[in-house]
Every structure is written in structure tokens, then in C-alpha cells.
Amino acid sequence: MPIYEFRCSSCRHKFEKLCQLGETGENLKCPRCGAPKPNKIMSSFRADSADSLRGSRGDSCTTCTSRNCSACR
């Protein structure tokens, strides 16, 4: 499950929230002041690291000699 960062539009408080995929955070409230609909901050570093990890493993498998092994991923 991805963690999204939100910033309150009222008091500028920044907080992280574990979200279901596709959740927009419109039903969230600021934990500090209770203002609804915090702004979602786009943080793509988790997706980037996942992509690079997948890419490096795609070149050659570390557990078998196959170049394209879906079995040992």
C-alpha cells in the first residue's frame, strides 16, 4: 500500500497517510486543525525505486541463469 504525503491547505501542516490505491484523500482531515481535503503531494520516489529495482533484476536473475525468469521473481 502506498504512503502519500498531504499538506493541509488551512494550517500548512504536512502529514503522511497510508492510502488505498486510487484513494484521493478527499475524505481525509488534517490531524492538527481538522480541515477537510488536504492537498496531496506528489512523491514518486517510492515508485521510482521500485522501477529501478525491477529493471536491475530484469537484466539478469541472481538466482538462476535465465534472463527473463518470471519463476524466481
For residues 16 and 43, is the Cβ–Cβ distance under 8 A? Answer: no
d(CA 35, CA 29): 5
Q: Give min distance, CB of 30 to Zn ion, in A.
A: 3
Chain residues that interact with Zn ion, rule: CB under 5 A: 8, 10-11, 13, 30, 32-33, 35
CB of 38 to Zn ion, least distance (A): 7
All three cell numbers of 35: 480541515
CB closer to Zn ion out of 9 and 66: 9
Shorter beta-carbon distance to Zn ion: residue 17 or 57:
17
Query: Whole-angstrom Cα distance, residue 4 to residue 54?
Result: 21
